[in-house]
Structures are given as structure tokens and as C-alpha cells.
Amino acid sequence: MRISKMTPETIFGSTRPIHYTGHADTGRYIELLGSDTAEALHLLLATMSRIALSNRHELCVLGVGSRADITYRNQNRNLRHHDVDLVIATSPEQQRVGYQDSLRMAVATEGIFRIIERNSVQPFLPVKWAIVKGDIEFDATFLGLGGGSILDLMQFHTYYNLAHTYLYLTGLRG
């Protein structure tokens, strides 16, 4: 990923609001989700991490967008956005589709969540899912094969001061 050639607008499009508030405190982020959403998030992260560990993948899950923006600006208490936006990256990059397939199977087997795919699966493009538990929705974007590394993802959000919080981060080799 070449940060200098990519901008949030070229990646996310100019129709989506882009939140420029930097890194948000993870504890505060989870606190503002509310207990039901936080519990569902913990269940989802546990499933994601279990799949990553069993397949020996590194995993990074960021909470992004309006929820992360809200935690940074305490005066902004507008919680109209009921979904939670996640960006998920795994490594090795060549096995990202395999990780998604394993996660899809685990979610179907456990029966806690259901997955609604938002776009066709094209390995080099980001894959978007809605992961739903009752009325709680997680908008999950999985980086594709051409999406860069976990480190690229973290540097991109830091470089552009995008609203984000680290929800799960494991196995980074330095």
C-alpha cells in the first residue's frame, strides 16, 4: 500500500462521511456501545480470533467510522448510527479468502450471528458483510488480496488521522 497515492476518498468514496479524529480509546469505545452491543462484539471477536489462531493467521480488527468518532469527541453524543463499522485484515494476505470461508462456516455452525454479504466475492477487492445478531449489526469490511498488510492498514488510519480503535490485534511480526 502506498499511502501517498491513496486517500480516504479514493478508498471509501466521497459519498460516505469520513471521520478525521484519530485513535480512540478502546475502553471508552466499548463503553459507549452499550452492554448488548459490547457483548455481541466480544462474541464476534472471540470467534474471529479462534479462527485466526486455529489457521495460524495474524488478525487485526479496527472499529472505525462514526462510533470511533463519537468516543473521541465526548460532546458528540449523536448515536443515530446503530451499526458498528469494522475493518478486518489477516495475514498472510494470500489466505484472506480462506479465513473468510472459515469464519463463514464457524458463524453458520454456532448460530449466534448471521451473515449478509453486501457484494460479490472478488479476491482482490474488499469484501463487505453485515454480521447480524438480533437488531445489532456489524458492518464488516475484509481487506482483499490487494488491500495491503495489517501494518499498512494501521499506518493508513494513523497517517490520515481517521477515527479508529484497535479492537483485536495479534501476532504482528516485527
Write out pLDDT tens, residues 6-49: 777 776 666 767 777 788 888 888 888 889 999 999 999 999 99
* 94/57 Cα distance (integer angstroms): 11
Distance of CA 52 to the CA centre of its chain: 14
pLDDT computed for residue 75 by the predictor: 44
pLDDT of residue 74: 46
- Residue 103: what pLDDT? 96
Handedness of CA 10, 59, 51, 115 (dihedral sign): negative
**Beta-bridge mates of residue 140:** 86, 129
Measured between alpha carbons, how far is 89 from 27 in angstroms, rounded to an integer?
21
Rounded CA-CA distance 137/83 in Å is 5
Residue 111 grid coordinates: 448460530
pLDDT of amino acid 143: 87
3-class state of residue 34 by DSSP = coil
Domain annotation for the chain: domains and CATH numbers: 18-169 (3.30.460.10)
**Please, which residues have CB within 8 angstroms of residue 160's CB and are 6 or more apart in sequence?**
7, 8, 20
In the predicted model, residues of the chain with pLDDT beneath 50 are 1-2, 73-77, 79-81, 174
What lies within 8 Å, CB to CB, of 165 at 6+ separation is: 23, 24, 25, 26, 29, 62, 63, 64, 68, 71
Do 170 and 55 meet the contact criterion of CB atoms below 8 Å apart? no
